[in-house]
Amino acid sequence: MRKEYILLVLVLVLGLTACKKQNKTPDAQIAGIEFTLFDLRALGDTIALEVNYPSTFILKNDYSWSLDINGTKSSGTYTWKPTSNQQAEVKFSITQWTDFSANLTLSNKLKSALLAVKSCGYSLQVPSYANFLDLSYQGSFFPFLRTNKK
């Protein structure tokens, strides 16, 4: 009877451990890499807007992100779900947004694009990049945010 009890407890512990591993959120493969903003298109726009300011965009391992455009800093959180090789579903939320006063149009369009994108395609090969976009968008001018590795 005692051996059966020990065996039952052991199976239960192993089962719980296996469940924990399956529920772990996968790490973003591009987390911790510094990217610079290249261009973007906000939701509803027809023209892409180049980002001609020094910038750093980082997805962190704790599922937060930070953005620095010429000293103006914003941050938030994101979700990451890999869908295939070098692609993932992504969703950004904003915790703290600071308007980029040197170019409010860029600031507003960047905020719109960041909240509209739902997917990420990336490459860790040289040149490295991460492109965020909305693959479900039905129109011709889908929102996107393109970045290159610094």
Which domains are delineated in the chain? 25-149 (2.40.128.270)
Residue 63: pLDDT band by 50, 70, 90 thresholds? Answer: very high
C-alpha Rg value of the chain to the nearest Å:
20
- At 97 the pLDDT is 98
Q: Averaged over 83-88, what is the pLDDT?
A: 93
Residue 94: partners with Cβ closer than 8 Å, 6 or more residues away: 74, 75, 76, 111, 114, 115
C-alpha separations of 142 from 39, 60, 61, 81 in Å: 13, 26, 28, 21
- At 136 the pLDDT is 87
Q: Averaged over 80-93, what is the pLDDT?
A: 95
Among 58, 65, 67, 68, CA closest to 79: 65
Residue 10 predicted with pLDDT over 50: no
DSSP letter, residue 98: -
Q: What percent of the chain has pLDDT over 90?
A: 73
The three-state secondary structure class of 135 is coil
Rounded CA separation 136/82 (Å): 16
